[in-house]
Structure 1
Amino acid sequence: MNATLPSAEVLRATLAGLLDGLPPKQAAQAVERLIANYRGTTPTDAPVLRDRSDVAAYAAYRMPATFEAVRSALDALREAAPDWAPVTHTDVGGGTGAASWAVAGAWAGEEPRTTVLDWAEPALALGRELAELSGIPALRAAEWRRARIGAGLELAPADLVTVSYVLNELTADVRAALVDTAAAAAQAVLVVEPGTPDGYARIIEARDRLIAAGLTVAAPCPHSAACPIEPGTDWCHFSARVSRSSLHRRVKGGSLPYEDEKFSYVVATRFGTQPVTARVTRKPQIRKGQVLLDLCTRDEALRRATVTKRHGELYRAARDIAWGDEWPPPGEDG
């Protein structure tokens, strides 16, 4: 496969080529168990992915969604720090490498040196195979290393550390230790969790620890002060559209050609960034002659903005705005 940068299309094609012989019944059973673990709240002290069948099912079930969620978060980081690009990247609990695929394609002309750490050797093995089949230099050059993702984990200094869909597998004390370790090692830390109330709670915990370690929030928040959401009343999350291949639909038992991945995230840095003035935190409501936007703002508050036709160009911009975008758009006067 000739590709220079990862994309959703390249990932789907690579997965299809590697997993073509996966028995549907076996895959479905593995996916059911993985979904139960993914949605559960019970931490584990053993790898969730036990063998190649588990890993193959996981790759078909989760890699496209994880890739899109991490890519969306990285887009926000690039917007906040347009002149910065990582040279080194550590993917903690990276499994088959979905986050590493997203990082490899986020900065055009740059090929970060990636190290993927995971405690499941079958996941690392499949990740290596996918990277090799991709034909993408940055992925093929990545180091895939077995490491226990726990309180004793040591991380070498890196420009970027990603921790995607990992914290839900850990106990509270181990989560805290891992975030502290990432903060000490990195210039930028990205943490992604499921877009559920529990996932958001873990993101807030990580956000607080990153700030306490001296980092500042680059995205999605417009500020590094306390989150204005009252605990228990709501949760901050976003959505990424995921195109589903026939393999993906077969494994997940769905019929639609797409799904929407809900995720929560935070990215914090040790270097200066330009956070957005406000972030759209819900799907915009388009009504006759007006658009309703739910915003998290730089003055540390949540507010509803109503944009009407009398706002002219701003109204036209609001009709095209998406959940998770900055507001007002660059170049527009709010």
Structure 2
Amino acid sequence: MPSAEASADALRRALSALLDGLPPRQAAGAVERLIANYRGATPTDAPILRDRADVAAYAAYRMPATFEAVRSALEAFAEAVPGWTPGSHVDVGGGTGAATWAVTATWDGVRPVTVLDWAEPALALGRELAAANPALAGTQWQRARIGAALTLGSTDLVTVSYVLNELADTDRAALVDAAAGAAQSVVIVEAGTPAGYARVIEARDRLVSAGFRIAAPCPHSAACPIAPGTDWCHFSARVSRSSLHRQVKGGSLPYEDEKFSYVAATRLPATPSPARVVRRPQIRKGQVLLDLCEPDGRLSRTTVTKRHGDLYRSARDTAWGDPWPPAD
């Protein structure tokens, strides 16, 4: 598997080079405007990202976190389908291409890649950034309205990251159905909020109904055991911040934690994890408490103590989102 950290470093360098001439105060102002103007509706006459300054600010603000969230989801998917490598990839609503970078961090090789998005400035900037990643040479950056009218050609992998929140209900359903009809495998990532989780579960149900099996994060393809409105399933990815990133986001820490929900579904043979850690492990004196989603479709809490020997040591090293028990 390629080095995810090397890919992340390459992306950070590309972003820094791109933003070299944009004053951090201007970038931060553009980010604040974009957040304030965000309405969660499908763009009609004009995209939310209007020009290069908007897109550059957005890239600095969101690309590192999107990359890490999608990469985490893809890594879990790759573990469930060992030996498989996508021969082609379509990124729907991909904007500046964070998910395409995550795919190259997960699987070696060069493949046909198409990025579809409504915002032409985002596509142009994504193309510029991709010049720093040899695996993205030849990527097609195509303007397309993301919604009910979208048609997709046959492909091995479709990614949809942080897009469903921008769509109306009918457009969300149509997009998931289009992905299911075009791809062997579909990976969908949304914000790790109750609303984001609800959109992921909606998409998950449609994919299962279309004949897909769930590869990750769930260890089963049955209904989610979380009662609607009581909780939500989400995970966390650590994101390193460059100095420019800290300036744009107004933060001081050298890192942030991106919360996300996701589903990875496939028509391929898949071996999901035996169970999945769905909360941050609680490490106490002589024991570790693990909250798990089980292969029989239920939630449970497992206590691993020093008496379990090597398993206890593994539990102390286990992170939120990891499979359990760890592979030998």
TM-score normalised to structure 1 length: 0.94
* AA partner of residue 166 (structure 1): V
Distance apart, 1:273 and its partner CA: 0.2
Q: Find the counterpart in structure 1 of residue 219 from structure 2.
A: 222
Q: Does 1:129 align with 2:134?
A: no
- Counterpart code for 2:280: K
Question: Structure 1 stretches of 5 or more lacking a match?
Answer: none
Give the secondary-structure state (helix, strand or coil) at the position aligned to 1:7: helix
* C-alpha distance in structure 2 between counterparts of 1:174 and 1:4, whole Å: 33
- Which range moved further: 63-72 or 136-145? 136-145
Alignment equivalent of 1:184, drawn from 181, 186, 200: 181
Question: Per-residue CA shift, 1:58-102, capped at 9, x if unaligned?
Answer: 100000000000100010111000111101000000000000011
1:32-181 to 2 correspondence within 5 Å?
32-36=32-36, 41-42=40-41, 44-45=43-44, 46-108=46-108, 110-132=109-131, 134=132, 136-181=133-178
State how many pairs are aligned: 325
Matched residues in 2 for 1:6 and 1:189: separation?
Answer: 25
What's the counterpart of residue 329 of structure 1?
326
- Give the Cα–Cα distance (whole angstroms) in 1 for the partners of residues 306 and 21 of structure 2: 55
Contact 2:220 / 2:272 at 8 angstroms: preserved in 1? yes
Alpha-carbon distance between aligned partners in 2 of 1:106 and 1:54, rounded to the nearest angstrom: 29
Map Cα deviations across residues 187-218 of structure 1 (whole Å, 9 max, x no partner).
00000000000000000000001111111110
Aligned counterpart, 1:11: 11
User: What SS does the corresponding residue of 2:114 show, helix, strand or coil?
Assistant: strand
Query: Which residue of 1 is the match for residue 312 of structure 2?
Result: 315
Asked whether 1:287 is paired with 2:289, we answer: no
Q: Residue type of the partner of 1:188?
A: S
Give the match's secondary structure for 1:73. Answer: helix
Q: Counterpart of 1:207 in 2: which secondary structure?
A: helix
Alignment-mate amino acid for residue 8 of structure 1: A
The structural deviation recorded for 1:138 is 2.0
Tell me the CA shift for residue 105 of structure 1.
Answer: 2.0
Percent of paired sites with the same residue:
72
Identify the residue that residue 22 of structure 1 maps to in structure 2.
22
Q: For residues 36 and 93 of structure 1, do their structure 2 counterparts lie closer, same or farther at Cα, with a shift above 3 Å needed?
A: same
Q: How big is each residue's C-alpha offset from its partner over 1:218-257, in whole Å with a ceiling of 9 and x where there is no partner?
A: 0000000000001101000000000000110010000000
User: How big is each residue's C-alpha offset from its partner over 1:17-47, in whole Å with a ceiling of 9 and x where there is no partner?
Assistant: 0111112232112211333466x65554452
Cα 1:239/1:60, change in 2 over 3 Å: same
Is 2:274 the partner of 1:277?
yes
The whole-number CA distance in structure 2 between the counterparts of 1:43 and 1:280 is 34
CA distance in 2, matches of 1:41, 1:129: 27
Letter in 1 for 2:300: R
Q: Report the AA paired with residue 57 of structure 2.
A: A
Structure 2 matches for 1:288-307, cutoff 5 A? 288-307=285-304
Report the 3-state secondary structure (helix = DSSP H, G, I; strand = E; otherwise coil) of the residue aligned with 1:251: helix
Consecutive unaligned residues of structure 2, counting only runs of 5 or more, are: none
1:122 match: secondary structure: helix
Q: Cα deviation per residue 1:238-296 (whole Å; 9 max; x = unaligned)?
A: 00000000110010000000000000000100111000110000110000000000100
2:256 to 256, 259, 267: 259
Aligned CA RMSD, in angstroms, stands at 1.6
8 A Cα contact 1:104 1:112, kept in partner:
no
Question: What is the rounded CA distance, in whole Å, between the counterparts of 2:197 and 2:138 in structure 1?
Answer: 33
Answer whether contact 1:147 1:153 (CA < 8 A) is retained.
yes
Asked whether the equivalents of residues 224 and 297 of structure 2 are also in contact (C-alpha less than 8 Å), the reply is yes
